[in-house]
Amino acid sequence: MEYILNSMMNVVVPPASMVMMAFAWPTLSFLRAAEWAVKTFFQEDMENKVVLITGASSAIGEQIAYEYAKRKANLVLVARREHRLFGIRENARILGARQVLVIAADVVKEDDCRRFVSDTISYFGQLNHLVNTASLGHNFYFEDAVDTSIFPHLMDINFWGNVYPTYAALPYLRQSHGRVVVNASIESWLPIPRMGLYAAAKAAVINFYDSLRYEVNDGVGITLATHGWIGGDMSRGKFMLEEGSEMQWREEKEVSLTNGHVGEFARMMVAGACRGDTYVKYPTWYDTFLLYRVFVPDVLGWTFQLLLSSPGPRRHSLLPDASIAAGRPLLLEAPPVGKPATTSPRRKPATTSPRRAE
Ligand SMILES: NC(=O)c1ccc[n+]([C@@H]2O[C@H](COP(=O)([O-])OP(=O)(O)OC[C@H]3O[C@@H](n4cnc5c(N)ncnc54)[C@H](OP(=O)(O)O)[C@@H]3O)[C@@H](O)[C@H]2O)c1
């Protein structure tokens, strides 16, 4: 009986919903536009407010810091590479930031998160926006992984690295009726090959914050950014090498981005947060793929296979080399599709620790 009922619903509900949405669409669009205009007019004034940004040492986090600086906010910049944060602090001051605090910390360590939140409160006495940007991308076929010890690190940074700072900051955000701003990704609902663990962590992030949104109600705002490919360290071959509990990074390819998509996206994100938007999407036409995922998932599968898979033997992103023999996994940048596989890059270790003096 239940089977027959569900079979009938399968036939009736989708087309009926589509027709309903088609009729409601113009009215809903009008209401959303009106709401957007009102919120833009009454958007939050950030002057002298306090914004804590994790992952502020590069790309999107750095540009978000500059956007808040232009709005004359006080900033707390958090990442592990302290030397990069000092340069960003100078730029932020020039752009109009009131006071800028630099804190070297690892968002995967709960104690570090408690410390940077309590340092913020001790110094400024309040916290208005927490912006979670810390993240680590990857680009390898799951089956090619030669050491599974690297897996939890990707989940730790991309999921727990959002949860711990939020947990530590929530009591203070409640006091200030503040906001959590989170960088998720389009991969949270449109997973692509070679980014499975990243996509899984981002999906967890979205579900966690959408659930938290109901718990905190109107006490704390939550803005989720689900954007597509923008650029940044991730796209320039930043890789992760695990040695004990330390992370090492390849620094020579890293360049500070100050314009282009990253700057544009940061501007949109901060504007959306100050407007009180629930979601910030860039670019919005990617939403169309959601329809494909729901109604014709096979088409997406074929497209990814055509676009992203290469013929012939699979190229490895997680290659065994001398470091593997020494018991250390090495995560390398996968070569772009259509180009020959590169040889193992020479590693230039730059050991990081929660508080690193340069
Ligand atoms: N770039 C894109 O195209 C793109 C697309 C979709 C979504 N996103 C999302 O947007 C956000 C920012 O991306 P991005 O391109 O700016 O990335 P990015 O350039 O790789 O920057 C990541 C930041 O996170 C910090 N970080 C990493 N692990 C950390 C840890 N354990 N503790 C503290 N800080 C840590 C890094 O600083 P340290 O190394 O100094 O600690 C760095 O500042 C991420 O959430 C990403 O998933 C990016």
64 CB near ligand 1 (under 6 Å): no
What is the predicted pLDDT for the residue at 213? 96
What is the predicted pLDDT for the residue at 199? 95
* Residues 54/78, Cβ–Cβ less than 8 Å: yes
What is the predicted pLDDT for the residue at 322? 36
pTM above 0.85, yes or no: no
What is the predicted pLDDT for the residue at 234? 52
Which residues of the chain, if any, have pLDDT below 70? 231-260, 308-358
State which H helix or E strand residue 268 sits in.
helix 260-275
- For ligand 1, pick from 114, 135, 154, 198 the residue to mutate: most ligand atoms within 8 Å of CB: 135
CATH fold of 41-237+256-301, please? Rossmann fold (3.40.50)
197 CB near ligand 1 (under 6 Å): no
The two structure tokens encoding residue 319: 């290659």
CA of 60 to the centre of ligand 1 (A): 7
DSSP codes of every residue in 67-105: HHHHTT-EEEEEES-HHHHHHHHHHHHHHT-S-EEEEE-
What is the predicted pLDDT for the residue at 252? 39
68 catalytic residue (yes or no)? no
Close Cβ partners of 232 (under 8 Å, ≥ 6 residues apart): 58, 59, 60, 257, 262
What is the predicted pLDDT for the residue at 143? 87
What is the predicted pLDDT for the residue at 357? 32
CA of 2 to the centre of ligand 1 (A): 47
